[in-house]
Chains A and B, each alone.
Chain A
Amino acid sequence: GQQLNQSPQSMFIQEGEDVSMNCTSSSIFNTWLWYKQDPGEGPVLLIALYKAGELTSNGRLTAQFGITRKDSFLNISASIPSDVGIYFCAGPHPGTYKYIFGTGTRLKVLA
């Protein structure tokens, strides 16, 4: 079945550093979403992308919809301790409203 692979699986960074993570698919997506999940809570939407090549920012976060429509990238600039959590990419299974979630990137920020 279709899968969304995220890399890296986990990262440890120093506060103030920039972070990059990506998500790849075996097939084309028309929508990419990026979520963050804090411990004990549900995923919270960070950024939504709807067009190939689209670059969207939300504060220190920037996400891009890959031109091939099979990948997406999320960057966090000047990381802070509250950026800690698990970041998920997601997209709807083509032709349906069934969302597939990536395997997640676990981020830890060292003060």
Chain B
Amino acid sequence: DAGVIQSPRHEVTEMGQEVTLRCKPISGHDYLFWYRQTMMRGLELLIYFNNNVPIDDSGMPEDRFSAKMPNASFSTLKIQPSEPRDSAVYFCASSLTAGDQPQHFGDGTRLSIL
């Protein structure tokens, strides 16, 4: 079975540019999560969706961050404008219908903002 697929794997861009990260969850999973991982703060939940609807975005750091899930098989996390402090590894994860089911992670997007 295909796991969670994220693209791109690496992104390097200059500050001020728009960045779009993409995620395809595991088919049949109703929950989708976006995380950010840094050395200083570890793994932080940014936002999660249930059946394509955003449920909790309290972890989104600023208005520069936005996330969408237009359908059950695709989600985006957008940063506009990007700043150097946004540099991190961004993970997408998905889980089955029951919310306490374990999450399955993609391999992440390593983002570097110069």
Q: Which A residues are closer than 8 A to B by beta carbons? A: 30-31, 33, 35, 40-45, 48, 50, 88, 92, 96-104
Q: Are A44 and B100 in contact (CB under 8 A)?
A: no
Given contacts A92-B100, A96-B56, A97-B31, contact A41 B42 (CB under 8 A): no
Cross-chain pairs A/B with CB under 8 angstroms, 6 sampled: A40-B107, A45-B102, A88-B43, A92-B99, A92-B100, A104-B42
Q: Give residues 8-55 of B contacting A (CB, 8 Å).
A: 31, 33, 42-43, 45, 48, 50, 55
A102 and B106 alpha carbons, distance in the complex (Å)? 19
A33 engages B102 (CB within 8 Å): yes
Query: Quick check: A30 and B100 within 8 Å, CB to CB?
Result: yes
* Beta-carbon contact of A42 and B106 below 8 Å: yes
Q: CA separation between A102 and B43, bound complex, in Å?
A: 8
Contacts of A98 in B (CB 8 A): 45, 48, 56, 59
Chain B residues with CB below 8 A from A44, complex form: 105
Cβ of B102: which chain A residues have Cβ within 8 Å of it? 33, 45, 48
For B, the interface residue count at a CB cutoff of 8 angstroms equals 23
- Which residues of chain B have a CB within 8 Å of any CB of chain A? 4, 31, 33, 42-43, 45, 48, 50, 55-56, 59, 91, 93, 95, 99-100, 102-108
Also in contact, A99 and B45, with CB within 8 A (given A31-B100, A42-B91, A92-B99): yes
A97:B107 contact, CB within 8 angstroms: no
Chain B contacts of A92 at CB under 8 A?
Answer: 99-100
What is the bound-complex CA distance between A45 and B94, given in angstroms? Answer: 12
Chain A residues lying within 8 Å of B108, measured Cβ to Cβ, are: 40-42
Please state if B31 and A103 are interface contacts (CB–CB under 8 Å): no
* B107 A42 Cβ-Cβ under 8 A: yes
- Complex contacts, A41 vs chain B, CB 8 Å: 107-108
CB of A95 to closest CB in B, whole Å: 10
**Which residues of B sit under 8 angstroms from A103, Cβ to Cβ?**
42
A33 to B104, CA, bound (A): 12
**Residues of B contacting A48 in the complex (Cβ-Cβ under 8 angstroms):** 102
Residues of B within 8 A of A88 (CB): 43
Query: In the complex, are the beta carbons of B43 and A101 less than 8 A apart?
Result: yes
With the chains together, A44 CA to B43 CA distance in Å?
14
